[in-house]
Structure 1
Amino acid sequence: MVIGCMFDHRAADGYSANMFISSWADLTRSETPSMYPSFNRSILNSRSPTTYSSSIDNVFATFVPPPMPEINVQNDDDNGDDVLVNRVYYIEGEQLKRLQMLASENGSRRSKLEAFTSFLWKLIALCFEDSGNHNQMCNMVLAVDGRSRLGKGDGKEKEKLMASHFGNVLSMPYGGKRSQELMEMTMSNVATEVHEFLHSATGKDHFLELIDWVEDRRPQPLISKAFAGRDMMSVMVSSGQRFQIMDKMDFGWGKVAFGSCHVPSARNDCYVMTLPSPTNNEDWVVYMHLPMKQMDYIEAHASLVFKPLDADYLKI
């Protein structure tokens, strides 16, 4: 049996989607949901007057629709290499520890997410360089949830409201490097770059400034600045390690055997999400929505890390 539901990211982020699905599972078993959603928008009201630094301009931009493609233009991608495809892998815990060790060789301990992001960033750059597309711009974006940051220091009630807030409370810091530079950098140096751009968006002040910045631009649509440019590759990495998709979720017939997200094939933005493994607490499941060329390169050159998810691994 498969259960699926579709969310529009303009209305809800992954945290909210997980809250909805978890509550749905609780209700099917006639149990009280562990968390009731809050739709209290006032907790995200902007300050008066609005105050923010220019650093927010390095995270988001006003969305400008791309020009309409010309009709009857010859498609250079005869092999379908640039078509985005969906694949799911698992990464063994030992491989994650190895990546973390390589990312921490400069003396600063990096998280598994920082290490994984650094490894993926280098792989994408190496794919460009090995295929003859030299010195391409590669952007790596990380989704940061602001709920715990915004609730910090304002009392238990505010923390509870923020934890149950249904909507979007995300920042999307990113780093941009040329593929040739990334190819020549060590894993630990790449991890330092990831840590620095990620750290810039993990404080409460950043999210307060972001709320004010967005308020001053209503009702204009906004976009992650990494995806606003042309002629570059940008990849969003999101962590679902805290989600209950494969931990406690039960719709009445036992523990969920496998859960993942899915990006429609028509979407042309690159997306990667890490999830907890349903069979081993040390492993990760990784969903990837990337160009065929990048995916094939990853499978050919990093098969010890990215292993295709199959029924044997899921024990079903």
Structure 2
Amino acid sequence: MVKETTEVHGGDVTILTSAMTTVAPALPLQEHRLPLSNLDLLLPPIDVGVFFCYLHPAPTAAVLKEALAKVLVAYYPLAGEVVANADGEPEVLCSGRGVDFTEATTEDAELRELRLGMVDEGVEMLVPAKKAGVICVQVTKFRCGGAVVGCTFDHRVCDAYSFNMFLVAWAAASRGGSAPPAPSFRRSLVAPRDPSPRTHSTDALIDRLFSPLSSAPPPPPASVAATAVNRIYHIAAADVKALQARAGPGRTKLEAFTAHLWQLSSRAASEHQSLCCMGMVVDGRARMSPDGAMEAYFGNVLTITYGVIGAGDLRRRMALADVADDVHRWVREAATGDHFWGLVDWVEALRPKPAQARAYLGGTGGAEATSCIVSSGMGFPIAEADFGTGAPAFASYHFPWPAGAAYVMPMPSARGDGDWVVYVHAAPELVKVMEEEHSVFKALENSYVFG
């Protein structure tokens, strides 16, 4: 039995790992390899976590494991592992090895005592660190009868849209309900065009957003890796609407939020950082296939677009509406079918050399720029994450990624009232500015989550 300890409200909470098993698909699988698509190959080897908090009565490990075995029949790549092919590129070995599943308990804590907003103190040990395979799961039971279900997945194999499909199917299997539509792993849906009708404008945009890598990307500065912190905040629905109104007509809530965060980033910039880079992850499914053919596609269909503005301009001269106009412009440039198809072709011409998104490194600013990436989790299926005992009381992403840029992920609150929950991985300077700006980012108190 393994013991881990974390601090909750000034006291120690001991988490006991009582069982570690591997859940294999309920039906046997013929071993084979599934190549990653060109869009998958743009992702570095990073893992993404997500967790759900359930009050009593919470789903049991036995029910979760039985349903997981069933759903892995359709989602068989998740029961495999990522290996290298002859060219050194990653691909999925669909071996049916299964999903590592950890059962844990707490000796002395109730779920309501967790400091969910202070991720590094109250959540870190509830989301498993993946050691092998494509995904892993941990279920932690609390003295009150509540539980936390944490999952971690390899981002190279799927994006949040895809993992949401899996979560919905897993929950449906736990409830004994009818299975959702099966996922599609057809790489032909994102295959390179032949011949490749690439335009000059599309190539110029791709060259601005991505760059080839002759070797592995440099690690973030030691100071960034050592000091980055993780927080979860909530934003009232009225404050989200107010931001959107200030951003001007025709601007989405996410564009307004991103513009506001861009301005806050400028206030957190050091005297040596004259530029502020703000990026956004854009999904391309509807852009590549407007007829809906890619709705069930499982994999990454993402690009990362960005803009760079001088920190002084953001702080002193630009109104939120002006910043939102800039966000809208560079998002619109990348949110096209031409861009995504051109990106598929560009990676094909580059292979097997890897590439990276320039937004991770501050766009064109390098060390002179701050960098922050916004990835929308507004499609997160909280209400559908019912494993037979009801919807979760709280859910959030957990993504303490190793890059130097900040990463911010807004998603709907489990309360279903239009509020947002926002996961933040950022330098302390940016977190300080966000917490001083009380009109938007609110500390996540336990009373907000559990009443």
CA contact (8 A) 1:175 1:197 kept: yes
Indicate yes or no: 2:401 matched with 1:292: no
- SS of the residue 2:435 aligns to: helix
Distance across 2 between alignment mates of 1:260 and 1:289: 13
* TM-score, normalised via structure 2 length: 0.62
Distance across 2 between alignment mates of 1:242 and 1:281: 15
Q: 1:163 to 1:49 in 2, by over 3 A?
A: same
Please name the residue that 2:81 is paired with: none
Distance across 2 between alignment mates of 1:9 and 1:51: 29
CA contact (8 A) 1:146 1:202 kept: yes
The 5-angstrom pairing of residues 160-199 of structure 1 reads: 160=293, 162-183=294-315, 184-199=317-332
Indicate yes or no: 2:302 matched with 1:203: no
Q: 1:163 to 1:265 in 2, by over 3 A?
A: closer
User: Following TM superposition, by how much is the alpha carbon of 1:50 offset from its aligned partner in structure 2, in angstroms?
Assistant: 2.0
The 5-angstrom pairing of residues 31-46 of structure 1 reads: 31-46=177-192
Q: What amino acid does structure 2 have at the position aligned with 1:168?
A: N
- What's the CA shift string for 1:171-214, capped at 9, x where partnerless? 11110112112112111110010000000011211111111111
Q: 1:116 to 1:82 in 2, by over 3 A?
A: farther
Q: What amino acid does structure 1 have at the position aligned with 2:275?
A: M
Please name the residue that 1:65 is paired with: 216
Q: What amino acid does structure 1 have at the position aligned with 2:284?
A: G
CA contact (8 A) 2:258 2:327 kept: yes
Distance across 1 between alignment mates of 2:218 and 2:444: 38
Q: 1:68 to 1:24 in 2, by over 3 A?
A: closer
Aligned sequence identity (%): 39
Q: What amino acid does structure 2 have at the position aligned with 1:239?
A: S
Indicate yes or no: 2:438 matched with 1:303: yes
Please name the residue that 2:244 is paired with: 100
- SS of the residue 2:422 aligns to: strand
Distance across 2 between alignment mates of 1:6 and 1:192: 35
Indicate yes or no: 2:400 matched with 1:264: yes
Please name the residue that 1:111 is paired with: 252
Q: What amino acid does structure 2 have at the position aligned with 1:223?
A: Q
Distance across 1 between alignment mates of 2:218 and 2:268: 28
The 5-angstrom pairing of residues 225-304 of structure 1 reads: 225-228=358-361, 230-231=366-367, 232-244=369-381, 246-264=382-400, 266-300=402-436, 302-304=437-439
Q: 1:29 to 1:60 in 2, by over 3 A?
A: same
Distance across 1 between alignment mates of 2:336 and 2:173: 35
Q: Which runs of 5+ in 2 are unaligned?
A: 1-146
Higher strand share: 2
Q: What amino acid does structure 1 have at the position aligned with 2:155?
A: H
Distance across 1 between alignment mates of 2:285 and 2:186: 13
Q: What amino acid does structure 2 have at the position aligned with 1:65?
A: A
Aligned length: 295
Indicate yes or no: 2:148 matched with 1:12: no
Distance across 2 between alignment mates of 1:145 and 1:67: 26
CA contact (8 A) 1:22 1:33 kept: no
Q: 1:236 to 1:194 in 2, by over 3 A?
A: same
Please name the residue that 2:228 is paired with: 84
Which range moves more in the overlay, 166-175 or 134-143? 134-143
CA contact (8 A) 2:360 2:404 kept: no
CA contact (8 A) 2:220 2:402 kept: no
Q: What amino acid does structure 2 have at the position aligned with 1:59?
A: L
Q: 1:218 to 1:90 in 2, by over 3 A?
A: same
Indicate yes or no: 2:261 matched with 1:120: yes
Following TM superposition, the consecutive aligned residue runs of length 4 or more in structure 1 with deviations greater than 4 angstroms are 66-70
User: Following TM superposition, by how much is the alpha carbon of 1:256 offset from its aligned partner in structure 2, in angstroms?
Assistant: 1.3
- SS of the residue 2:151 aligns to: coil
Please name the residue that 2:196 is paired with: 50
Q: Which runs of 5+ in 1 are unaligned?
A: none
Distance across 2 between alignment mates of 1:14 and 1:34: 17
Please name the residue that 1:147 is paired with: 285
Distance across 1 between alignment mates of 2:340 and 2:358: 16
Distance across 2 between alignment mates of 1:205 and 1:266: 31
| Bigger relative CO (Cα 8 Å, ≥ 6 apart) | 1
User: Following TM superposition, by how much is the alpha carbon of 1:165 offset from its aligned partner in structure 2, in angstroms?
Assistant: 0.8
Which of the pair has more CA radius of gyration? 2
Distance across 2 between alignment mates of 1:240 and 1:139: 21
* TM-score, normalised via structure 1 length: 0.87
- SS of the residue 1:2 aligns to: strand
- Cα-Cα RMSD: 2.2
Distance across 2 between alignment mates of 1:68 and 1:225: 14
Distance across 1 between alignment mates of 2:273 and 2:175: 54
- SS of the residue 2:415 aligns to: coil
